[in-house]
Amino acid sequence: MDLWEKFGISEGLADLWQELGVSAGTAIIVLAVLYFVIKWAVKNGVLEAYKKIEEKRAQNNLKADETASSQMTGDDG
């Protein structure tokens, strides 16, 4: 019994993979690696975006603090 049949892959798709010379085990490994690479990329993208948001928030808080302190001391600029 072929692994393609064991995993329930349609005959047309199995023929396509076999024409390319890719066995079922290799295909599973490639798909697993692809999954982890995409997962890693998304995680890093989210972390980078979060850092930028936090930096912007810190800058806005600093500006608000400077404005509040200048108003308390009566400075106009």
Asked if 49 contacts 29 with a C-beta cutoff of 8 angstroms, the reply is no
The pLDDT tens digits of the residues spanning 13-52 come to: 777 777 888 787 888 898 899 999 999 999 999 999 999 9
CB burial string 38-73: b at 16+ within 10 A, e below: eeeeeeeeeeeeeeeeeeeeeeeeeeeeeeeeeeee
Largest CA distance in the chain: 85
Residue spans of the domains in the chain: they are 3-73
Higher pLDDT, 72 or 38: 38
- Confidence (pTM): 0.56
